[in-house]
Structure 1
Amino acid sequence: MSKIDPHTAASAAKETALPHGAAARRGPFRAGERVQLTDERGRMNTITLTPGTAYHTHKGFLNHDTLIGQPEGSMVESNVGQQYQALRPLLSDFVLSMPRGAAVVYPKDAGQIITMGDIYPGARVVEAGVGSGALSISLLRAVGDSGYLHSFERREEFADIARGNVETIFDGPHPAWKISLGDFQDQVVAQEAPGSIDRVVLDMLAPWECLDAVATVLAPGGVWINYVATVTQLSRTAEAIRADGRFTEPDAWESMVRGWHLEGLAVRPDHRMVAHTGFLMVTRRLADGVTGMTLKRRASKTDFAQEDLDAWTPAAVGERSVSDKKLRRAARDASSTVQTRRNISQAEADEAHGTLPEH
């Protein structure tokens, strides 16, 4: 009998053991999956392929059966000749078009959370709250089948929506995902062992209320990343982390994405952009018994000597002084301009009423 090369067998096993949900992203369109249709003007609509039904618009209809079995990237026509480009939605497309019960974490922020939070394959992660499941999908893709994501949500209806969205994009339940109902700070310490979690991701109104729970379950060196909407939340969370002493100095930022218009030589920024959506703040758990460092900061104004303050003059920083004479002349010029405009307006009004003065 011929011996089987273990390396060849391992390679074959890897090819057949695809990550969960990967098979649904390949091959021809199948009934029940979502397809993104783009018309000739660039307008996009997402439909769920259902045999025997049709997609209707003011420009005719397109039978779903026309798409089922076609390769991804096909061009199809409606009954009146309207052309559509058919592709599977990308994750960013899916998140913005999926059913939602709460505001979603935008793709630009989810990408930052995955990268700056160092979410890696096999990591053990907890998150709260789940909302509509947008961030959960990104986290599951990052941790993979061998990882672990435990999501906490207070509202059952949100959990149901998130569950449906996750199962839609992964073509079924994900083996690494667990979702629980209840308050995060109570449930996480009851369900997760101390120091057993690698990463904590919180998207909630008051993350500072979860300090003890996060410090309990997060392993030394683990990352805690917060997504908050307002400056007040950001400030209060940062000060609570500093006062607690079990974490490193927090680091915060926001990201903005501006698209570009590309058409021939008309290459310019888009007039609209995805600007502020939320703030991200990251900190790390220190070892037990260690107190976080108080970072040395620049001295405030009161810490400077008087001679330093005396040297801090407008001229010293390159600001050109303006003489009183020039200021008076500028004031006269401004008044003269205003008076001239008034005179012209009055003359136009008099002419309209036939009351011009005689010369």
Structure 2
Amino acid sequence: MVRRGPLQPGEKVQLTDRKGKKITIQLVEGEETQTERGVISHDAIIGGPEGMVVTTATSEGSVGSAAEAYRNNPRKPWKNTRRIGGWQYTVLRPRLMDFILSMPRGAQIMYPKDIAQVIETCDIRRGMNVLESGGGSGAMSLHLLDAVGEEGSLTTIEMRPEFARVCEANATVYFGGRPAWWNLLTGDFDSVAATLEAHVYDRIFLDMLDPWNRLEQAARVIAPGGVITCYVTTTTQMSRLVETFRNAGCWTEPEIGETLERGWKAQGLAVRPNHEMIGHTGFLVTARAMAPGVEALHKRQRGTKDTYTDIDDMSPQEQQSRLEELELRDISDRKLRKVLKDLDAQVENIPGTR
């Protein structure tokens, strides 16, 4: 839903000052918002155009001058002067990314960089039927609802009723009403998914602690050729999930990826990356569903390569005999002799080693 025209009561707007500091508020007739630098009247914004500039007014109880502020609080005079008006903010409707980062939330939300990657790798498009598990605070749900549109449908399964309420409220505020194409269900994934029709979902997204335990029901409800993407945060979760995909036989070879984000500063000739970046937040593991009864094709493991046996569980004799099979040494004898010859020559050139 695209909103244009004058700003209306009930809408959220983002206020940005010249230093880049942002405040997100919901417009309510007769209300005021207190900032560090004065008061903003909502009535001064309502009915105005997007992209306007609003100026703060002096807040009640603030002092009228810097000299008076110093007399009242000589140690920290700036505290009261900041409440003096005259500070300007640009008024714009928030982007979905801005809305999500500022909305009330209980559960930790996914970062926009990961959400965007889910939409791309899971190939979620308008008109699709999508199943989501783990609604949380609604960050991913809002993007899925926006991506499938009114022509599609989203079914969200959230285990905790209180999180479901947070998720539903955030979606209602963002869309200006509860989306009619959204089916929000509460309960554990397996129990709720067992009540859903088989092979009707084009895409599935799982954001939970143990997605590998949910693949059986996911395989039942997903359509042949459908895409499933799982979000996990640790390498142990990722490894277990990937092996479960492979062992199930009904999923294609899983793809694994993560996204790192780094902003840049560009001011005249001072062009450089920011000191901070958003590094690892989670792994995205994606696979596709095979047709019922068809075994997925997977890369064959080399006969001499064992990547599953833990060498610490072997006896010393077994460890010695398995070194080459485990490929812990991938250098030929000829190359090894040459390396040793070169090193012997270098050692002899060191005084006192002959």
TM-score normalised over the length of structure 2: 0.81
Partner of 2:199: 195
Q: Which amino acid aligns with 1:118?
A: D
Greater share of helix: 1
Alignment partner of 1:249 is 2:253: yes
One-letter amino acid of the counterpart of residue 310, structure 1: D
1:271 aligns with 2:275: yes
Residue 215 of structure 1 and its aligned partner are, at CA, apart by 0.8
Residues 1:310 and 2:333 aligned together: yes
Listed one character per residue, the Cα deviations across residues 87-106 of structure 1 (whole Å, up to 9, x for unaligned) are: 11111111111011101111
Match of 2:347 among 316, 319, 324: 324
Listed as ranges, the matches of 1:120-139 within 5 Å are 120-139=125-144
Q: Residue 265 and residue 291 in structure 1: after superposition, are their counterparts in 2 closer, same or farther (change >3 A)?
A: same
Q: What SS does the corresponding residue of 1:149 show, helix, strand or coil? A: strand
Unaligned runs of 5+ in 2: 58-84, 306-323
The answer as to whether partners of 1:39 and 1:85 remain within 8 angstroms in 2 is yes
> Which one of the candidate residues 142, 147, 150 is aligned to 1:145?
150
2:100 maps to 1:87 = no
Q: Corresponding residue for 2:309? A: none
1:259 aligns with 2:259: no
Deviations 1:268-294 (A, max 9, x none): 101111111110000011011111223
In 2 relative to 1, CA 320–294 (structure 1 residues): closer, same or farther, beyond 3 Å?
farther
Moved over 4 A (4+): 311-316, 319-322, 325-329
How many matched pairs? 304
Separation in 2 of the partners of 1:96 and 1:221? 34
1:39 equivalent in structure 2: 17
Q: For residue 99 of structure 1, what is the aligned residue in structure 2?
A: 104
Sequence identity (%): 43
Query: Do structure 1's residue 75 and structure 2's residue 80 form an aligned pair?
Result: no
Residues 55 and 88, structure 2, Cα contact 8 Å, conserved in 1: yes
Q: Paired residue for 1:7?
A: none
**Which AA in structure 2 matches 1:150?**
T
CA contact (8 A) 1:122 1:143 kept: yes
2:233 aligned partner: 229
Tell me, in whole angstroms, the C-alpha distance in 2 between the residues paired with 1:91 and 1:320.
61
Q: How does 1:103-182 map to 2 (within 5 A)?
A: 103-182=108-187
Q: Separation in 1 of the partners of 2:350 and 2:228?
A: 55
Q: What is residue 36 of structure 2 aligned with on the other side?
A: 58
Q: Do 1:314 and 1:320's aligned partners in 2 also have CA atoms closer than 8 Å?
A: no
- Could you tell me which amino acid in structure 2 is paired with residue 36 of structure 1? Q
1: CA distance between counterparts of 2:90 and 2:242? 47
Q: Residues 105-161 of structure 1, C-alpha deviation per residue, up to 9 Å, x if partnerless?
A: 111111111111011111111000100011011111111101010000000010000
Give, as a single letter, the amino acid of the residue that structure 2 aligns with 1:54. E
User: Retained in 2: the 8 A contact 1:315–1:321?
Assistant: no
When normalised by structure 1's length, the TM-score is 0.80
Q: Distance in 1 between matches of 2:15 and 2:120?
A: 31
Q: CA shift at 1:327, angstroms?
A: 6.5
Q: Which moved more, 1:106-115 or 1:48-57?
A: 48-57
Q: Once superposed, what is the RMSD of the aligned Cα atoms?
A: 2.4
Tell whether the 8 Å contact from 1:124 to 1:197 is kept in structure 2 after alignment: yes
